[in-house]
A and B are shown apart, each in its own frame.
Chain A
Amino acid sequence: MPRILVCDDDKEIVEAIEIYLRHEGYDVVCAYNGQDALRTLETASVQLAILDIMMPYLDGIRTVVKLREMHNLPVIFLSAKSGDSDKVLGLNLGADDYVTKPFNPLELLARVRAQLRRFTALGSEVCGENVWQSGGLKVDDERKEVSVNGDVIKLTPVEYKILKHLCANAGRVFAIEQIYTAVWNEVPLSVANTVAVHIRRIREKIEINPKEPKFLKVVWGLGYKVEKY
């Protein structure tokens, strides 16, 4: 079973996370500051790290920077800092995911699962033609199939068309009218809600936390896009 490093200066939180993870069947090692975490990583084989940012001695950001010099394993930040700039900083410096406190335990578990699956199972899949991949999201037009981190997702035809259109042009922002024209092949007339509702439904199906989407993102006042990885 994969071993997970949990590091937070609040012992109760570490313990709670440990309980959840053990319940799911993971092996867990604990640390209470950045130095501890790095030391543990040197001795034990660890497949994923959950790090707090505000910690004594060595904070999470510096820990990740040092960790990235030696190891290649997914890191999830777990922080009370919820500002956009904090998230951008954490992700840019080498973290793979960012969960804010107070967190939903189920969401954390889902993210842990997703990261582990990508790390262990989906390391290097070659994309065929008419297969688009973005992060853990994969749209296979051959089989008309959508999967997230390996799990096949069931979508309605319209939802599938929208997602395929966005994935085929990953990174590009599509206005609501453009999506409507492409998917419905009709002239759009006050269709904001229709497209928006479909998009929300897709997000609810493919995202771990639909309120903080990772794959299908809203560009407010402009349209929607699928991140290009």
Chain B
Amino acid sequence: MGTKSKSIRCAAFIALAVFIASVGAGCLSYGLIVGGDFSLVWDAPEFGRSMRAQTMTGQALEWAWQLHYTAADPVSERHDAFKANLTYPRPFYYHVQEMAMSATTNVTIPAGETVETFFRQLPLYDSFTFEKMRLVAYVGLAEPAFRELATAYYAERERVFQAFYFVVGGVVLLLLGAVSYAVATWHATDVTLPHKLLWKYIPLDLALGALLGLSLFGARLMVASRELYQGTKLEEPLLVGSAIGIGLTLLGLLWVNMTVQRLKHGKFWRHTLVGTVLLWGLRLFPMLWELRLFSKNAVTMQAVLFVVYAGASAFLVLALANIGTVLTAVIAFGLLVAINVVATLYVVSHAKAVENMVLGTAAIRRGETAYFAPTKWHKDINALAAHVNDIVAGLERAIASRMKAERLKIDLITNVSHDLKTPLTSLITYIDLLRREGLSAESAPRYLEILAQKSERLRILTNDLIEAATVASGSVAVNWEEIHVPSLVGQGLGELSDRIAAKQLDFRVTADGEPLHVRADGKLLWRAVENVLTNVLKYAVPASRVYVDMVSVGNSVRLTIKNISALPLNIPPEELLERFVRGDEARSSEGSGLGLSIAKSLVELQQDT
């Protein structure tokens, strides 16, 4: 089935619905205008009681009231004057008795009957007694007048009922039309198309309110119009009233149209005043909440909590002091205990969370990696924990990248040392082979000697360089032992005794104080000391004295080696420890300029915490 035929069917259905609703509105208007006062519909169906209540009572009361007002005058005069004013059209009986005097209208009470019995036999009567004035009034209706009135009443009732059926039928038709219209509109609304906003800025609920108000006003006008026109010549109000009713109905259908469209688009609430207010509230509330309690500071939160707690406690203490009954006292005491238990639990859990943070951060300071889980109640601790977690994560990343860099550095040193040493090996071995087998040229042995010397020097330099790099990178395992420093120095001097003797150096070794033990790696420490001693052997003035002093300083041993430099030293002492710095500026002596630098790195390597 095509969309076109569907839309045509929709349009036809909508037209039918509008028609039904309009007919309903017309019926309703007619019923309202013709019916006027609908109290007869749900009032007593019997004429007698109704008449007493509605008409006669009011009239009689009025009469009695007027009599009372003119109490100063003699009864007869008042009565005569009053009688002249009576306009009630139908024959009726009236009797009033005040003190001793009495007045009667149309009444001839037969002999032997009291006033009361006379009125009692009438089809309709009523009596009033005013104790203060000692006044008794009787009002009664004669048989013909009663019948006339009853006939008129039933006619009226018939008419009102007819009008009421019109009203009910009109309402039913109106609702039927509106519902059909709503259904048709629902089906006709295409969600893919933007919906037509006939009144964009008037909220739907406000519009509905206005429409209902207008309708009620119109209905009241219609009801009142019968009274205004005194039940005659109703053509004019009927015409105007129907027009108003149909107009209001059409407006109502427009509202239904808008509402249904927005419902189908799922934007109903956004176009109502209630929805808008709620939406704003929903947006505003978290903003306020956040502003007040969390983003500003946790201190406010704590303060609020504490004030609530203190206030509740104070109130309960006051209550306990003033309460009389046992039950209320028990309840107040129980509540006091309960809130204090809750407060204690809160404080304890907060303290626990803080302690957890303290222990965790201490562990982090020791170098462990610790992360904190968020607590259930303490937002402030959670924020702190989150920040610490971030710091730890950063630390871990830094350590990881540092480790990686360290590994790369070690790999680099290994590779470079391999690449330097391999060609050097060939160089040294082949020079040695040449020296064994000889070259034919005359000065070849001298040249080969130079080559051998220089390649040896290159070998020492390479080894020193690689050692310096390895030690400086810190990638050397340290085996901690208790080292006796004087033994180490003695062993070392023994190792170097030949070279010392060759240079005729006089070593003066002194050891002062106890203990002369240090915690270090013997091998590494020896390499450091050896480098310094080799330095002495290279640069000291021949046949001079060298002083080696060991002094116990607290937990450590201070080892001092003093010698006289053969060359003038125009270098600051700290700079001597730098790499490739050498005492002789000409750099003519053997050595790489790395010895003291390596010694320094080795000592630093063994500096424990």
A residues within 8 Å of B by Cβ? 10, 12-13, 16-17, 19-20, 23, 54, 80-85, 101-105, 175-176, 190-200, 218-224
Contact = CB atoms under 8 A, between A and B. Distances in A.
Contact of B483 (A84, A85, A102, A222): A222
Contact of B417 (A13, A80, A191, A199): A80
B294 interface: no
Contacts of A224: 491
A221 B483 contact: yes
B426 interface: yes
Contact of A102 (B428, B482, B491, B509): B428
23 contacts: A12-B430, A13-B425, A16-B433, A20-B433, A23-B436, A80-B417, A80-B421, A81-B418, A104-B428, A105-B428, A192-B489, A192-B493, A196-B491, A196-B494, A196-B495, A200-B495, A200-B498, A218-B495, A220-B483, A221-B485, A221-B525, A222-B481, A224-B491
A214 B206 CA distance: 105
Interface in B450-466: 459, 462-463, 466
Contacts of A12: 426, 430
B495 A83 contact: no
A8 B277 CA distance: 87
Q: Report, nearest first, the 10 A-B pairs whose CB atoms are least far apart.
A: A196-B494, A192-B490, A221-B483, A220-B522, A221-B488, A80-B421, A16-B429, A220-B526, A102-B425, A80-B418
Given A101-B425, A196-B497, A197-B494, 20 more contacts: A13-B426, A16-B426, A16-B429, A83-B470, A101-B422, A102-B427, A103-B425, A105-B433, A176-B487, A192-B494, A196-B490, A196-B493, A196-B494, A198-B494, A200-B497, A218-B495, A220-B483, A220-B523, A221-B491, A221-B526
B459 A102 contact: yes
Contacts of A199: 491, 494
A156 to B, nearest CB: 15
Contacts of B486: 192
Contacts of B491: 176, 192, 196, 199, 218, 220-221, 224
Contacts of B466: 82
B432 A105 contact: yes
Nearest to B420: A80
B182 interface: no
A39 B258 CA distance: 93
Nearest to B422: A10
B414 interface: yes
A200 B526 contact: no
A13 B429 CA distance: 8
Nearest to A203: B495
B477 interface: yes
A80 B427 CA distance: 14
Nearest to B521: A220
B581 interface: no
A221 B522 contact: yes
Interface string B300-338: 000000000000000000000000000000000000000
A224 B526 CA distance: 14
Contacts of B484: 175, 221-222
Nearest to A196: B494
A59 to B, nearest CB: 12
B520 interface: yes
A218 B489 CA distance: 12
A161 B430 CA distance: 42
A81 B509 CA distance: 37
Given A10-B422, A80-B421, A221-B481, A105 B429 contact: yes
B577 interface: no
B40 interface: no
Interface string B428-443: 1110110010000000
B494 A193 contact: yes
Contacts of B463: 82
B424 interface: yes
Contacts of B481: 221-222
Contact of B490 (A85, A105, A193): A193
